[in-house]
Amino acid sequence: QVQLVESGGGLVQAGGSLRLSCAGSGRTFSTTAMGWFRQVPGKEREFVATISRSGGAYYSDSVKGRFTISRDNAKNTVYLQMNSLKPEDTAVYYCANGPWATMTLSAYNYWGQGTQVTVSS
C-alpha cells in the first residue's frame, strides 16, 4: 500500500513558477515509478510527466521545456518544478505511483488527493 500527499499548489501569475511536492509512504516507493497528471472540470485527467525508478523522465509536449520532474528516494518524495506557467496550466494536479513510467493513466495504482494550481493572466 502506498499513500501519496501532494502540496505546493496555489495561485500564480502567468510566467511565474511553482514547485509541487508529493510525499509517499511505503517501502516500495524507491522501486516504483511516479507520475504527475492534471485535470480541469469537464475534461479527462491528462498526463503531465513521469519518472522511472532510475530517474528517467518523460513529459507531455505541452509542458516539455517548462516543467521538470525529479525524485528524492531518501525522502520518498517526487517534485514537479513548473516554470513559465500559462493560464492553460490551471488544473488540479495529481501524483500517482505505479510499476513503470508511462503516460497511461490506468497503469498507476495509487493516487494522491490533488492540489489546485491556478495561473492568472
pLDDT digits (tens, 9 = 90+) for 10-24: 999 999 999 999 999
- For residue 1, name the pLDDT band (cuts at 50, 70, 90): confident
d(CA 109, CA 96): 7
Tens-place pLDDT, residues 80-103: 999 999 999 999 999 999 999 999
Burial of 94 (0-12, 13-18, 19+ CB in 10 A): buried
Q: Of all residues in the chain, what percent carry a pLDDT higher than 70? A: 100
CA atoms within 13 A on the CB side of 107: 15
- Poorest-confidence range of 18-32, 71-85, 103-117? 18-32
Dist. CA 101–CA 120, nearest whole Å: 31
Write down the mean pLDDT value for the chain: 95
**pLDDT computed for residue 18 by the predictor:** 98
pLDDT band at 30 (very low <50, low <70, confident <90, very high): confident
How many of the other CB atoms lie within 10 Å of CB of 33? 22
3-state secondary structure 7-66: ECCEEEECCCCEEEEEEECCCCHHHCEEEEEEECCCCCCEEEEEECCCCCEEECCCCCCC
